[in-house]
Amino acid sequence: MEKGMERIEKDLQDPMLAAYHEQFGRELRDQNALFERLSLQIYAAGLQWETIVKKMPAYRGLFYDYDVAKVAGMSPDELADQVDHYPDVIKNHAKLTATITNATVIKRLSAGETSFIDYLTSLLPEGLPVAGPRTELADLAVTISKQMKKDGFSFTGPSTVQVFLDSIGLFKPQRQAD
């Protein structure tokens, strides 16, 4: 059995990891679910994704189940107070603050009658999902990342954006021939 397949088999024995595997790559349209998925990809930057998946309940508690309006309204003092109640959360201030910043941007988009999913799809070429070799999707993720940053999103580098779009079914990487 290939090393990657062994890892997936092992992950599927853990209920939280199995649930994450089951959801990864499936289309999402709900604003709060999209916001959660983006946030989780941000938290996972530089870490093993398994670490973040196992801490999902704590992050959901900290950020009001990723209710965009509630998170956008959080003050720095409220965040600091909330973090104290969730010891399982990784205390990366930049990533936690990015969650509030991104909620504020998503709230602003929806106030202008643009849903988060419509915003994301507006950044993609026609024809969804976007399929192609991983290298082409990586190039597209660079462009999308730049636009998201211009629009006010935080901690949305190309790698994070690519995995996020993979995870919500907008990118469909195709295996390249050896």
The annotated binding site is made up of 21
As annotated, the binding site for Zn(2+) includes 21
Q: Which of 65, 29, 69, 26 is nearest to 166 (CA)?
A: 26
CA-to-CA distance for 89 and 83, rounded, in angstroms? 7
The structure tokens listed for 86 are 């969730």
| DSSP summary character for residue 55 | T
CA–CA–CA angle 150, 63, 158 (5° rounding): 30
Under 8 Å between Cβ of 69 and 107: yes
DSSP sequence for 3-42: HHHHHHHHHTTSHHHHHHHHHTTS----HHHHHHHHHHHH
| DSSP summary character for residue 173 | E
Q: With H, G, I as helix, E, B as strand and everything else as coil, classify residue 93.
A: helix
